[in-house]
Structure 1
Amino acid sequence: MTTTSGTAGRVRVPLWVRGTNALEVVVLAVVGTAVAVEFVIAGIGLNPAGLVSAAVIAAGTVIGYRYAPHLGLALVAAGPLVAAFTGWLPTHNWSIACFAAFLLTLRGLSGLLTGLVVGLANFVAAGWYAGTLSVELNPEASIAAAAALVLAATGSAIRGQRQYFGELEQRARDAIATREAAVDRSVAQERLRIARDLHDSIGHEIAVVSMRLGAAEVHVTTDTEAAAEDLRAARTSVQSVLRETQEILRVLRVGTDDKVLAPTPDHGRVAALVESYQAAGLEINAVLSGLQHPLPRNTSTAVFRIVQEALTNAERHGEGPVSLNVSIDDDSVLIEAVNLRRSDGRDTSGGGNGLVGMRERAESAGGRLVTHDDGRIFSVKAYLPADEGEEQ
C-alpha cells in the first residue's frame, strides 16, 4: 500500500518507508525486551556470564544507535562471543545481536560490514559452544551467521529506499519551488511591461493635455471658441487617461473579468500618433517611411512607444519644431527625433524614466538607443532589427 506525501507534491512513498523511524523504535523495544528477559534468566540461574553478555549487547546497541556506530557494532558482535567463551548458551545473545545489526544498518552503518562482523561472531560463538563448526553436526552456527547477514541486508535495503524516496521528495519540492519562482518572475516581468506601457501612454496624454491647456490660456482672451475647443480636447485627453488607467488596474486586479482590452499599439499607428501631437499644437517635421512593412510584435510595439516617448520628451523639455524620422525596411528600423532645448530658463531636467523606458524598449526588441545632448540640441536615435527571426 502506498500513500502521497503532502510535502513532496506527487511523490508516492510506501508506508513502510515513511514509517522507518517508527520501525527503529519497535526494534529498540524488541532488543530491550530480549535483553531484559536474558537478565532475568541469567539472574535466576545466578550466572554472571549471562548477565555480562547481555549487558555488552545492550551497551553496544545504545552506543551504536546514539553515539559511535562502529564501537557499538564491535560491542554487539562481542556479546555472543562473551557468552560462548564463558560457557553461557549463546542462542539468545546471537538472536539479539541480529536485531541490533538490523537497527545499526537502519541508522547508517554499512550492511555488508555489519552483516559480516555480526555473522562471523555468531558463527564462531555457536560453533565454540557446540564444539564443532560442521553444518551436519551444528546447523545453528550457519543459521546464526545467515540470520545476521539477512537482517543487516534488510536494514540496509530499507535505509536505501528511505534515502531514495527522500531524494525524490526533495527533487519534487525543488521542482515546485523552481516552477513557482518562474511564475513569479513572469508575473513581475509582465507587471513591469504593463507599468512601462502605462508610463508611455499616460505621459503622451498628459503632454497633450498640457499643450491644450496652454493653447486655451492663450486663446481665452482673444478667441473664446478656440479656447473652448482646446478645453474640450484637454477633457477628452483626461478621459482617455482615466480609461487606460482603469483598464491597466483591471488587469492588475486579482479577479475574473472577461472584458477584452484594446490591442497593444503597433508601428502602424505611428502616423496617427504624430497627428495627435500636431493637433495638440506640437510642431513636428515628420518623415515616415516603410510603416507598411510587417514587424515582429515586440519590435512593432517598441517603435510606437519610442516615438511616443520621444515626442512627449520634446514637448516637455524642448522648444521649436521637432524633426522626426521613422524609416523601416526589410532589415532594420531607424527612429530619430531631434529638438532644441528650452531657452526660457525653465527647468528641463526630468526623472530620467522616459529615456530609461525607451532604452529598455529598444533592448527588449534586440536593438539599441543612442542619445546626444550638447546643451542646446537634444537627439534620440533608436536602431532596431526588422527581421522576424530576431523576435524573442
Structure 2
Amino acid sequence: MPEGRTPRVAGVRGSRWAGHVGAVLLVLGGGAVPPGPRQPVDWSTGQVVVTLVAAVLVLPRHRWPRSVLAATVGLLVVAGVLDLFSLGPASAVGVATYATVLGLSRRAGWLTTAAVTVVVAAAGVLAGMVGPQYALVVMLGGAVGEAIRSQRAVVAAVTERAERAERTREALARQRVAEDRLGIARDLHDVVAHQIAVINLHAGAATTALRSRPDAAEESLATIRQASREVLAEIGDLMATLRDPDQVDTGPLGLAQLDEVVRGFAVHGLDVRVRVDGDPVDLPGRVDVVALRVVQEALTNAHKHGTQGRAHVRLEYRPRSLGITVANPVDPAADAAQGVGTRQGLVGMSERVESVRGTLASGRDGAGTWVVAVDLPYGPQHPSGGEGAPA
C-alpha cells in the first residue's frame, strides 16, 4: 500500500470502529437504565438477550441503514409484546434512525423520524412504559442525523464550487495560452509572409537572369537584401513586443499606413489601385489594425499567386461597418490559384476578422478574378438583418 494513503485508511477505519463501539455502548447503557424512578434494573435473561441482539443489529447500520431501522423497530415491538421493553432496544432504534436520516432528504428524514417516534411511543404505551425517554431517544437520533447530513451537504457544495472555480480558472488559463499562441502565429505570419514572398520571387528572377542579364540579377539581389533587412527588423520588433507587452507596437497601426503598404508592394512589382467610397471615419483601434492586416495579407496573396501584377482595393465606409474588397486577376486555367500553399494566410485573416465580429468571404468572382470581401462592424451592434448588420 502506498505510504501516502496509509494514514487516511487508518483514520477512516479508526473512526468507523470508534462509531461502532460508541453505538454498542449506547445500546448496552440504555439496557442498564431502570424503567422508571425507584424501579430496579431488569437483569433477566430475556432482557439481556434483547439488549445484546439490539447491540449487534446496529453494527451494519452504515451499509444497510433502512434494513437495520426496520429490524430494530421490529425487535422493539417484539420486546414490548414479551414484556421486555426497555431503553436498550429503544436506543438501538435511535441509532438506526440517525444512520437512515443521513442518506435521506430533509423532508424524508423528518417524516421518517416522526413515523418511527410514533411507532416507538405506541409500543411503549402497549407495553405499559409511558415515559418520554423512549420517544426522545429516537427524536434525538433523527435530529443529530439531520444536522450532520446538512453539514455534509454544505461542505460538499462548497467543495464542488471550489472545484468548479478551479476548473474554470484552468480553462481560462488554457484559453489565454491558446489565444496568445494564435496571436503570435498571426503576427509572425503578418511580419514575414510578404517579405519572404518577395525574397522568393526575386531569388527566382536572379537565378534566371544571372548569366544573360547580370544587371537584372544584381537588382533582384539588392531587393532580396533589402527585404531581408526589413523582415529581420520587423521580427526584432515583434520579439521585443513579446518580451515586453507594455512596449508600444512599432508596426502598422491602421489604415493610416495603407499608402505606405501600397508603395511597398509597388516597389516589388504589384500595381495596387485603391478606391475609397463614403466618408472615412476614425475606426476603433482593433478594427483599424485588422483592416490593415486584411488588406496587407490579401495583397500578399495577390502578389504571390495572382497574374498581371495588379490588384484593386476598395474601402467602403458604411454607417456602422467598413467593407473591404480586394480583387486581383488569376490564371483562369488554374484550379483555386489563391489556395496554393498552406492557406495559413486565409486562416489568419479569418481569425482576425472574427475577433472583431466581422465576416470574410473569398473565392473566384467570375472568370479570372479572385476576390476577398470583408465586413468589419465598428458601430452599435444590431440584431441580425437590421441596419448595420454584416451583410
| Shared fold per TM-score greater than 0.5 | yes
* 1:293 has 2:290 as partner: no
Q: Which amino acid aligns with 1:32?
A: V
* 1:302 has 2:275 as partner: no
* 1:312 has 2:300 as partner: yes
Q: Which amino acid aligns with 1:200?
A: D
Q: Name the structure 2 match of 1:47.
A: 45
Q: Is 1:215–1:227's contact at 8 Å kept on the other side of the alignment? A: yes
* 1:354 has 2:345 as partner: yes
Q: Is 1:367–1:385's contact at 8 Å kept on the other side of the alignment? A: yes
Q: Secondary structure, in 3 states, of the residue corresponding to 1:99?
A: helix
**Which residue of the other structure, out of 52, 63, 66, is the alignment partner of 1:66?**
63
Distance in 1, Cα, partners of 2:145 & 2:166: 32
Distance in 2, Cα, partners of 1:322 & 1:75: 94
Distance in 2, Cα, partners of 1:81 & 1:194: 78
Q: Is 1:35–1:58's contact at 8 Å kept on the other side of the alignment? A: no
Q: Is 2:90–2:120's contact at 8 Å kept on the other side of the alignment? A: yes
Q: Is 1:81–1:124's contact at 8 Å kept on the other side of the alignment? A: no
**Alpha carbons of structure 1 residues 121 and 369: separation in structure 2 relative to 1, 3 Å:** closer
Deviation at 1:204, TM superposition (A): 0.6
Q: Is 1:287–1:325's contact at 8 Å kept on the other side of the alignment? A: yes
* 1:142 has 2:132 as partner: yes
Q: Name the structure 2 match of 1:106.
A: 102
C-alpha deviations, 1:226-271, integer Å up to 9, x for none? 755543442232243344446656777xx87875543564222121
**Alpha carbons of structure 1 residues 151 and 38: separation in structure 2 relative to 1, 3 Å:** closer
**More relative contact order in 1 or in 2 (CA 8 Å, sep 6+)?**
1
C-alpha deviations, 1:271-298, integer Å up to 9, x for none? 1111111112x13041243796322333
Matches within 5 A, 1:147-226: 147-214=137-204, 216-217=206-207, 220=210
Q: Which amino acid aligns with 2:200?
A: S
Distance in 2, Cα, partners of 1:216 & 1:82: 109
Distance in 1, Cα, partners of 2:150 & 2:334: 81
Q: Name the structure 2 match of 1:6.
A: none
Q: Which amino acid aligns with 2:148?
A: I
Distance in 2, Cα, partners of 1:295 & 1:156: 63
Deviation at 1:170, TM superposition (A): 0.9
Q: Name the structure 2 match of 1:378.
A: 369
Identity of aligned residues (%): 26
Q: Which amino acid aligns with 1:380?
A: V
**Alpha carbons of structure 1 residues 323 and 168: separation in structure 2 relative to 1, 3 Å:** same
Q: Secondary structure, in 3 states, of the residue corresponding to 2:324?
A: strand
Distance in 2, Cα, partners of 1:200 & 1:256: 19
Q: Name the structure 2 match of 1:283.
A: 270
Q: Which amino acid aligns with 1:241?
A: V
Q: Secondary structure, in 3 states, of the residue corresponding to 1:380?
A: strand
Distance in 2, Cα, partners of 1:358 & 1:48: 90
**Which residue of the other structure, out of 110, 113, 116, is the alignment partner of 1:115?**
113
Deviation at 1:155, TM superposition (A): 1.0
Q: Name the structure 2 match of 1:336.
A: 326
**Alpha carbons of structure 1 residues 63 and 214: separation in structure 2 relative to 1, 3 Å:** closer
Deviation at 1:49, TM superposition (A): 4.3
Q: Is 2:198–2:227's contact at 8 Å kept on the other side of the alignment? A: yes
Distance in 2, Cα, partners of 1:352 & 1:216: 27
Which deviates more, 148-157 or 93-102?
93-102
**Alpha carbons of structure 1 residues 359 and 116: separation in structure 2 relative to 1, 3 Å:** closer
Q: Name the structure 2 match of 1:77.
A: 73
Deviation at 1:34, TM superposition (A): 4.3
Deviation at 1:166, TM superposition (A): 0.6
Aligned length: 357
Aligned alpha-carbon RMSD (Å):
4.0
Q: Which amino acid aligns with 1:187?
A: V
C-alpha deviations, 1:95-114, integer Å up to 9, x for none? 34323322332344843244
* 1:388 has 2:386 as partner: no
For structure 2, the 5+ residue unaligned runs are 1-10, 34-41, 382-388
Q: Secondary structure, in 3 states, of the residue corresponding to 1:319?
A: coil
Q: Which amino acid aligns with 1:81?
A: V
Deviation at 1:37, TM superposition (A): 6.9
* 1:95 has 2:91 as partner: yes
Matches within 5 A, 1:201-280: 201-214=191-204, 216-217=206-207, 220=210, 227-228=217-218, 230-245=220-235, 261-263=249-251, 265-280=253-268
Q: Secondary structure, in 3 states, of the residue corresponding to 2:309?
A: strand
Q: Secondary structure, in 3 states, of the residue corresponding to 1:210?
A: helix
Distance in 2, Cα, partners of 1:164 & 1:29: 28
What TM-score do you get using the length of structure 1 for normalisation? 0.74
Q: Is 1:57–1:97's contact at 8 Å kept on the other side of the alignment? A: no
Q: Which amino acid aligns with 2:63?
A: R
Q: Which amino acid aligns with 2:257?
A: R
**Alpha carbons of structure 1 residues 256 and 203: separation in structure 2 relative to 1, 3 Å:** closer
C-alpha deviations, 1:113-147, integer Å up to 9, x for none? 44234433443454455x363xxxxxxx2122123
Q: Which amino acid aligns with 1:269?
A: Q
Q: Is 2:265–2:272's contact at 8 Å kept on the other side of the alignment? A: no
Distance in 2, Cα, partners of 1:382 & 1:261: 27
